[in-house]
Structure 1
Amino acid sequence: MRSGIMYISLSYILWGIFPIYWKVLDHVSSEEILAHRIIWSFVFVLLLLLFQKRFADFLYECTKIVKSPKILLTLALSSFLISANWFVYIWAVNHDRVLETSLGYYINPLVSVLLGMIFLHEKLNKGQQTAFLFAAFGVLISTVHYGHVPWTSLILASTFGFYGLAKKVIKLDSAFGLALETFVVFPIGIIYVLYLESLGSSVFFEWDASTNFLLMGTGVITAIPLLLFAKGTPKIPMYFLGVLQYIAPTITFFLGVFLYHEPFTVVELITFVCIWTGIIIFTMSEPSFKTIWKTRLSK
């Protein structure tokens, strides 16, 4: 189990420090970063599959998917959802909204539970209902004070929540899934980069070498945490996964406050305290979490 915890923790740590990478690329438009992230993620995963001699298995999975219109449609939907999520995240970081991205990923598990209730007819236990009310109250406080809904946070949480729903339909190996999702939007990424080149406004090959390498590296930093996560997940209990998932937004939160010095007023504090309270209640109300504690107390 230790190796599982190590893999999962490392994946969340890498996801948590993503803002540092995007900040280094803040001289590049969010749209162009997204296009390169799609392109190089597809290229990197494809090379990885070839290196692991799994490309034939990947092609076999593709032939099965092509025969199912439902899975094809869901795959297209999941591709656009994750692309939208990536874009909003990159845009938010490079527009000094790191704290909003942190908030979005804190409330994501609660949004996922709500979506499960609506679309999969899953029932919320009392703890989950209370947790959701705390989170909603935190968002309401921010909305009333600033006069607008924290759209960045809600879009990040909802796109990733719907993406999770889509992934329940497409049950694929993580590398296969990333390859297919980026393949769907790969032509859009290529066309957009070529369009920028035709206008003379693309930074790729027009800027310094470090920028080119960083743009190409977006594929590597996208794939590695996902592969670590996939390697670690089977080795740890679900309640551990439920706790560890908050490593990423917590790191991002500290980056926003202490590294990038984003405003953190009493209103933000109250909002986050409400969210954190909801998360604690949510985590402790998970059936797997309660079972493990009952087992330990009975010994």
Structure 2
Amino acid sequence: MENKRLGIISGLSAYLLWGMLGVFWKLLSVVPAMDTLAYRIVWSLVTISVVLTFQKSWKEVWHVIIELIQNHKMGLIILSAFLISINWFLYIDMVTHEQATEASLSYYIMPLMNVVVAVIFLHEKLSRSKIVALILVIIGVVILTIQTGSLPLNTLLMAATFCFYGLIKKQVPLPATISLTLETLFVAPIALVYLFLSPHVMIQNGPKITILLIMSGILTVIPLLLFAVANKNTDFITLSFIQYLNPTIQLLMAIFVLHEAFNWHKVIVFAFIWTGILVFIIGSLNSYYKLKKTAS
């Protein structure tokens, strides 16, 4: 019971922090999005290196690298590093360009996109509730496309990159700290070269922005470590519910803190998305309890 309580608290804390990150990136809007991403990667590597040194886990990282090379899975980790980097860039870019509501929408769409990926790549079967949920989400995306005059590519790409990132994680499961270490190790050299060539200098916008850029690494690592604790001590169904806290907080922050417009077109879009998610959750709960009853 104590472990489950720890898991729930850690999960709530992780998703709360992730949900509030939009406001943090907005504070860095004076810095080009690509530069912010590069700083985030570099300082994340620095932060996770300190954590691994404190935990004395570098030997474990080396063993994992050797194992991945021997199993010919290193390519998947490199691909996951680029997918999460694209996801990070899109989120930073959207938030700093008054599109935080669209960014939150992608995290609502993502669980249902996971279903599509599971059907295509893992050959899982679609239940009736999942089909209904997908149709509702598609209607929401179509309405958004008609309202804006173009397909919400950034929203869909953001959801897709994290979706395929998650698929790789299922194929190559690794501890969260080691996973982030390897991913940042692969993209950090590119980030450093970019920063060296970029006209932007980290200290040019004053000490406040400089400190925030350094903190970007800490704020990337802390929720990940909390999520690792939650994932270890919380059952899947509870964590599935908690995950919707992230986009909900993102949306609330976008409306009440970043003061983004939330007109009736967006209300209709989100209404379809939320209804789809509700159908998806009810269907998932029914499947979970049926499976549990069969197992007992």
Q: TM-score, normalised by structure 1?
A: 0.93
Alignment partner, residue 87 of structure 2: 85
Q: Distance in 2 between matches of 1:124 and 1:99?
A: 29
- Match 1:241 to one of 239, 242, 246: 239
Alignment partner, residue 249 of structure 2: 251
Alignment partner, residue 26 of structure 2: 23
Alignment partner, residue 160 of structure 2: 158
Alignment partner, residue 106 of structure 1: 108
Query: What are the superposed Cα offsets for residues 252-288 of structure 1, whole Å, 9 maximum, x if unpaired?
Result: 1111112222121111001000000011111111157
Deviates more, 1:257-266 or 1:33-42: 257-266
Q: Following superposition, which runs of at least 4 residues in structure 1 exceed 6 angstroms of deviation?
A: 292-295
Residue 66 of structure 1, CA deviation: 2.2
Alignment partner, residue 67 of structure 2: 64
Any idea what SS the aligned residue of 1:286 has? helix
Letter of the structure 2 residue corresponding to residue 257 of structure 1: I
Q: Distance in 2 between matches of 1:288 and 1:78?
A: 32
Alignment partner, residue 8 of structure 1: 11
Contact 1:81 1:163 in 2 (8 A): yes
Letter of the structure 1 residue corresponding to residue 143 of structure 2: I
Residue 59 of structure 1, CA deviation: 1.1
Residue 37 of structure 1, CA deviation: 0.7
Q: Counterparts in 2 of 1:145-224, with a 5 A limit?
A: 145-196=147-198, 201-224=199-222
Q: Distance in 2 between matches of 1:207 and 1:31?
A: 16
Query: What are the superposed Cα offsets for residues 176-226 of structure 1, whole Å, 9 maximum, x if unpaired?
Result: 000000111110000011112xxxx22313331222221111111111101
Contact 1:28 1:203 in 2 (8 A): no
Letter of the structure 1 residue corresponding to residue 282 of structure 2: M
Alignment partner, residue 119 of structure 1: 121
Letter of the structure 1 residue corresponding to residue 11 of structure 2: I
Does residue 260 of structure 1 match 2:262? no
Q: Distance in 2 between matches of 1:183 and 1:153?
A: 27
Contact 1:284 1:290 in 2 (8 A): no
Letter of the structure 2 residue corresponding to residue 258 of structure 1: F
Contact 1:79 1:185 in 2 (8 A): yes
Does residue 144 of structure 1 match 2:146? yes
Any idea what SS the aligned residue of 1:206 has? coil
Query: What are the superposed Cα offsets for residues 119-165 of structure 1, whole Å, 9 maximum, x if unpaired?
Result: 11111111111111111111111112221111121111100001011
Q: CA RMSD in A?
A: 1.6
- Match 2:223 to one of 213, 222, 225: 225
Letter of the structure 1 residue corresponding to residue 175 of structure 2: D
User: Kindly tell me: are residues 292 and 12 of structure 1, through their superposed partners in 2, closer, same or farther at Cα, counting changes over 3 Å?
Assistant: farther
Q: How many residues align?
A: 290
Alignment partner, residue 96 of structure 2: 94
Query: What are the superposed Cα offsets for residues 40-86 of structure 1, whole Å, 9 maximum, x if unpaired?
Result: 111111111011111111111111112233x1111111010000000
Q: Distance in 2 between matches of 1:254 and 1:292?
A: 35
What residue ranges of structure 2 are gaps of 5+ in the alignment?
none
Contact 2:23 2:258 in 1 (8 A): no
Alignment partner, residue 283 of structure 1: 281
Q: Distance in 2 between matches of 1:184 and 1:275?
A: 35
Q: Distance in 1 between matches of 2:206 and 2:146?
A: 45
Letter of the structure 1 residue corresponding to residue 62 of structure 2: L
User: Kindly tell me: are residues 288 and 230 of structure 1, through their superposed partners in 2, closer, same or farther at Cα, counting changes over 3 Å?
Assistant: farther
Q: Distance in 2 between matches of 1:118 and 1:294?
A: 26
Letter of the structure 1 residue corresponding to residue 104 of structure 2: S
Contact 1:10 1:228 in 2 (8 A): yes
User: Kindly tell me: are residues 294 and 97 of structure 1, through their superposed partners in 2, closer, same or farther at Cα, counting changes over 3 Å?
Assistant: same
Letter of the structure 2 residue corresponding to residue 115 of structure 1: V
Any idea what SS the aligned residue of 1:180 has? helix
- Match 1:50 to one of 30, 48, 53: 53
